[in-house]
């Protein structure tokens, strides 16, 4: 792995606003976008279209404003995929819960097969709309290996462009990040693997670096590590 093989994804415009007490105006978001693009960031996870009219207005203006590609995060719902395409975003981050706990408590899906069908449907819809499909395996760090493996295979079979492993509740250690990425690379070869780490135990940046050393090539980060709860890996 060399730096030239990495695609660094900045999530400040979306995750940053999940920090307690933080809110960006549209003008502030556009200024941050310009600065991030100017610093060389090629892909930004810039927001969730389903949040508000203001969020959609920002995403419309952000797309094509700079050389950076604009990504939108969406839940595994066809209507949210359509909405992100409607506002013009270049890429979609399809948030797909893969652990039993998240699948059942957050989505109310008692059947794993139902989740696999939903992954298939949203990936195919994103691709049919001409968007890059980034499948975000939410709560991957608490999923069993069979659960995670089946979800990732469903995503790849449907045409996913990249796979992101999420340590959603911040429980990885560097050795666990290394192990997970290595296993996924062996199980699903030939597709770029990204990681999205949270900082609940202060390990987000260390876990991200460990994942890169294990072969992940699409790290996510935020300015100063801002983000939900304790934050995310630091962009610096």
**119: CB partners within 8 A, 6+ apart:** 76, 94, 96, 135, 151, 154, 155, 158
> Distance between CA atoms of 49 and 80, rounded to whole angstroms?
7
Residue with tokens 């999923």: 143
Q: How many CB atoms lie within 10 A of CB 25?
A: 10
Closest CA to 73 of 192, 184, 194, 170: 194
> Distance between CA atoms of 44 and 33, rounded to whole angstroms?
8
Longest dimension (CA), the chain: 45
Q: Tell me: the pLDDT tens digits for 131-170?
A: 999 999 999 999 999 999 999 999 999 999 999 999 999 9
The predicted model scores a pTM of: 0.96
Q: Is 151 helix (H, G, I), strand (E, B) or coil?
A: helix
- In this prediction, residue 3 carries a pLDDT of 52
> Distance between CA atoms of 212 and 198, rounded to whole angstroms?
16
Q: Tell me: the pLDDT tens digits for 211-225?
A: 999 999 999 999 999
Closest CA to 15 of 162, 208, 206, 197: 197
> Distance between CA atoms of 172 and 64, rounded to whole angstroms?
36
Confidence of residue 5 (pLDDT cuts 50, 70, 90): confident
């Amino acid at each position: 792995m060399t730096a030239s093989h990495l695609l660094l994804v900045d999530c400040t415009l979306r995750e940053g606003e999940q920090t307690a007490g933080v809110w960006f105006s549209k003008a502030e978001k556009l200024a941050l976008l310009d600065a991030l693009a100017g610093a060389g960031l090629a892909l930004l996870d810039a927001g969730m279209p389903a949040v508000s009219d203001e969020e959609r207005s920002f995403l419309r203006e952000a797309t094509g404003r700079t050389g950076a590609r604009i990504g939108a995060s969406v839940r595994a719902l066809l209507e949210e995929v359509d909405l992100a395409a409607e506002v013009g975003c270049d890429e979609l981050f399809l948030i797909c819960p893969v652990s039993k706990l998240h699948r059942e408590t957050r989505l109310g899906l008692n059947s794993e097969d139902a989740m696999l069908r939903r992954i298939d449907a949203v990936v195919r819809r994103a691709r049919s709309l001409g968007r890059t499909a980034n499948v975000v395996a939410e709560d991957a760090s608490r999923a069993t290996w069979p659960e995670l493996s089946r979800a990732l295979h469903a995503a790849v079979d449907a045409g996913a462009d990249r796979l992101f492993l999420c340590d959603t509740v911040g429980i990885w250690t560097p050795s666990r990040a290394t192990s997970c990425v290595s296993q996924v690379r062996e199980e699903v070869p030939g597709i770029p693997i990204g990681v999205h780490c949270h900082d609940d135990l202060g390990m987000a940046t260390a876990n991200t670096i460990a994942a890169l050393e294990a072969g992940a090539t699409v790290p996510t980060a935020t300015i100063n590590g801002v983000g939900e709860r304790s934050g995310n890996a630091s962009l610096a």
